[in-house]
Every structure is written in structure tokens, then in C-alpha cells.
Amino acid sequence: MVKNAFLSFFLLFSATFAFSQSSPCYKLRITKKASAAQEEINFTLQRSDEGGLLIVKEKIFPSKGSAADSLYLTTVLEKPSDEQRILLQEFVKSKTTYISDSMLITDKKALEEMDLLISQWKNLVEQSNLKNSSRLVLDGTFFSFSLSKENQKPTGFSIHSPDEQIHPEIIQLLRSIESLSNEF
């Protein structure tokens, strides 16, 4: 009797693990910077067993600075040093504003597509190193990617103006995240 109870418990326990699939948990960050328009958009997808949370932050440029701002910038830029550069970065950061919005993602198909792309992260990193020698980009969009998974060191890569023929999986990832953000 005890053997049967133990055997039944063991089979039930192992079947539960065999048939239950947990979703991968990760945080994907993508920053898009268009140099000509000075546009900056940050996408963050936080994936858990329950679904996903997409956070989109867009940089808003302030109106023209005041006379005091102009005087301060002139003073800081007169003799550029490491300390002055830090002050300049802090000044720009203090004047920068972001608007943000977030959305719960419950569409299983969209989440599965993102999970598939994330499972191929090493391919994306390798693709980011490929260059088209016959392509010349004078101005374009710069993308920065970062992936954090549970119990793993965060990894990332950057790419300037990805090409659909050379970087198809990166383009697919960008289209997927932008299609999710278009639902706002």
C-alpha cells in the first residue's frame, strides 16, 4: 500500500514537471537613437510567467534655454576638462524630460514570438558584427540592446542602421517590439 502511494505520488510529481512549461523570465532593453532628428526612444520588455510588461520612454526636448543656461554652457565649454564634461552631462540630463507609458502584454502569440527571438540571442549578437562593405551610411539610427535573464550576467550589443539583408533577425526583433508599442 505504501509502495503504491509512493509510486503514484512519484508519477504524478514527475508528470507535473514533464507537462508544465514555464515561460522564460527576462528583461529586454532597446534604445533607439536617430541622430538627425535627435530622437531617443527606450523600450523595456519585462517577461515573466504571467505575461509581459512593455514600458516605452520617449525623450522630449525642452524649449529654448534661458539666458542663465546659455551663460552656464558658455562657461563650462570655455575650458573643457573631464570635470567640465561631467558637469555638462549632468546639466543636459537635468534639462531632459521623458514621457513614458506601459502596457501589459497578454497576447500569447506576440509573447511567443519575442521568446523565440530571445532564445536566439547569440545569433543576434553575431549578426550585429556583420557589415555590408558595399553599403555606406552617412546618417542613421543607432540601436543598443541589453538582455538580463535570471541568474545570468546581462549581455548586450549595439548596431548602427541595421540592414534587412544582413541583419534579418535583428530587424525582426525591432519590428516585433515596435508593433507591440504601436498598441498604445
Q: Indicate whether 16 pLDDT > 50.
A: no
Average pLDDT over residues 61-85: 76
Res 99: pLDDT = 93
Instruction: Give the model confidence (pLDDT) of 156-166 as tens digits.
Output: 999 999 989 89
> Which among 121, 138, 130 has a CA at the least distance from the CA of 165?
130
Res 136: pLDDT = 76
26-40, 48-62, 65-79, range with the lowest pLDDT: 65-79
DSSP SS3 for 76: helix
Confidence of residue 88 (pLDDT cuts 50, 70, 90): confident
Confidence of residue 9 (pLDDT cuts 50, 70, 90): very low
- Phi/psi of residue 108, each to 5°? -60, -35
Q: Which residues pair with 29 in a beta bridge?
A: 44, 146
Q: Indicate whether 14 pLDDT > 70.
A: no
pTM of the model: 0.73
Res 48: pLDDT = 93
